[in-house]
Amino acid sequence: MIRLGMAVIVGSSNSLSQCYHARMRALYTLTLLLLTPILLVRSARKYRGLHWGVRQRLGFNRPRIDRPIWIHAASVGEVRAIAPIANDLIKQGPVLITTTTPTGRDQVVQLCPDTTHAFLPYDLPWAMGAWMRALKPRCLLLVETELWPNLIHAAKVHEIPAVLVNGRLSKRSARGYARMGSLARNMMASLDGCLVQSADHATAFTRLGAHPLVIGNIKFDTQLPPSTLPSGRWIVAASTHPGEEAACLKAFAKISQTETNLKLLIVPRHPERFDDVVSEAEKHGEVGRASRNQWAPAIVVGDAMGQLSGWLNGAEVAFIGGTLNRRGSQSPIEAALGGAVIVAGPSRYNFAEAYALLASGSLVDVADEPELAGALNEALTKDGDKNAALISASRGATARTLAYLTSEILRS
């Protein structure tokens, strides 16, 4: 009788838990549904003149591909990271790569020409379910932070293994997921694999109910193209956000008074800001545009997509965008691999482990905008080859990820 009673209690508890989770997911879906018109308007404005896949974002125009390995990578950085894995997996069958941005699509076309691209639908259950039924993917691979509750739930319902690849979780994101309660915990528990970059990330994922495996950071395996910068001493301001361009321009105006043959290349994070950044730069004199092959001026705006890696490979110093305006930093890894001395502000939570590694190399900290000129001057006296050596010594995650996927996920 006691065992029977306990079974009834446990069964009731599980039913209540499932009911509560279903309600949380329904609330999440309703919220997203109400926000969808706003998201559509924002995207239409942001990507004006570009193909951004509005019909696919709404769940229509499913790609015609049968039983693919489905990889979802949000945008440029994630696509560049997963490209070697995607190109290797083609040997095992068709590969579909979804992104959420036109720039991500362009990177898929450039780096993974033998794969199929589509734009990921908004995370609405009917759209995700329809795509799962139509595509019948062999597996779903989610890159870094692309965790969508309805997408992962649809994979589970259709018995499609879902794996997080190169997973990372900043403290800020971990707090956000914790506030989502059972919605996040059930999503994490539904992952069939959770391959993460470091032990710290593993701890964060474990607290949220996932079962992580530390593989390392596949971005450390990046192979940079040859330098595409003209000769000269280049400071590259990489993937800058609003406000950071003005700070870099002011700092460059100061240090170029004493340093000879210095040139500044500013590469905004988002292409829709190219013209605005050119206008800001023109306050400081003649400005070239990389898209027009105008490299003679001391200040050039990198207004061409997909070129940053080649530019970073020729930089003497790289300022990393997103570190002065609390965006958590863009990746410093490619700049370090290129042998640039890294200059970064205090906001680094998206790439904390990479910065911890580079702390023993050539990394110059800058607390705020007024200190930037001094930090750039200091960086010009350092040797960036230490950074390249540190990153190179940490390679191997790509091979480990492929080995895991081949042996644990794609066996049949």
The rounded distance, in Å, linking the Cα atoms of 34 and 36 is: 6
Class in CATH terms, 45-216+397-409: alpha beta
Q: How many residues does the chain have?
A: 412
Phi and psi torsions of 121, nearest 5°: -65, 155
The predicted model gives 313-321 an average pLDDT of 98
**Which residues are designated catalytic?**
78
The predicted model gives 121-147 an average pLDDT of 97
From its phi and psi, is residue 285 left (phi > 0), alpha (psi between -120 and 50) or beta?
Answer: left
Percentage of the chain beyond pLDDT 70 is: 95
Residue 45 is predicted with a pLDDT of 86
Q: Which helix (H) or strand (E) holds 99?
A: strand 95-99
Residue 305 is predicted with a pLDDT of 86
Question: In the chain, which segments carry CATH 3.40.50.11720?
Answer: 45-216+397-409
The rounded distance, in Å, linking the Cα atoms of 319 and 237 is: 5
* Bigger pLDDT: 325 vs 364: 364
Q: If we measure between CA atoms, which residue out of 79, 74, 399, 70 comes closest to residue 221? A: 399
Helix/strand/coil percentages in the chain, nearest 5: 50, 15, 35
Residue 15 is predicted with a pLDDT of 62
Residue 119 is predicted with a pLDDT of 97
pLDDT surpasses 90 at 361: yes
Beta-sheet pairing, 287-289 with 299-301: parallel
Question: In the chain, which segments carry CATH 3.40.50.2000?
Answer: 233-392
Q: Residue 7's pLDDT band (boundaries 50, 70, 90)?
A: very low
Q: Can you read off the two tokens belonging to residue 196?
A: 């993460």
Packing angle of the helix pair 397-404, 76-89 (nearest 10 deg): 60
- CB-based contact 315:233 (threshold 8 Å): no
Q: Residue 260's pLDDT band (boundaries 50, 70, 90)?
A: confident
Residue 6 is predicted with a pLDDT of 41
- What DSSP string runs through 115-126? SEEEEPPPS-HH
pLDDT in tens, 151-184: 999 999 999 999 999 999 988 899 999 999 899 9
Neighbours of 221 (CB within 10 A): 22
> Which amino acid, residue 76?
V
Least confident of 8-22, 173-187, 225-239, 315-329: 8-22
> Which amino acid, residue 120?
L
User: In the CATH scheme, what is the homologous superfamily, with its name and number, of domain 233-392?
Assistant: Glycogen Phosphorylase B; (3.40.50.2000)
- CB-based contact 336:244 (threshold 8 Å): no
- CB-based contact 384:316 (threshold 8 Å): yes
Most distant CA atoms of the chain, gap in Å: 88
- CB-based contact 199:214 (threshold 8 Å): yes
The predicted model gives 358-384 an average pLDDT of 96
Beta-sheet pairing, 287-289 with 162-167: unpaired
Residue 17 is predicted with a pLDDT of 62
pLDDT surpasses 60 at 3: no
Q: Residue 4's pLDDT band (boundaries 50, 70, 90)?
A: very low
Least confident of 24-28, 297-301, 334-338: 24-28
Residue 147 is predicted with a pLDDT of 97
pTM of the model: 0.89
pLDDT surpasses 70 at 14: no
Residue 412 is predicted with a pLDDT of 64
The rounded distance, in Å, linking the Cα atoms of 233 and 263 is: 6
pLDDT in tens, 336-360: 999 999 999 999 999 999 999 999 9
Q: Can you read off the two tokens belonging to residue 8?
A: 């009834």
Average pLDDT, the chain: 93
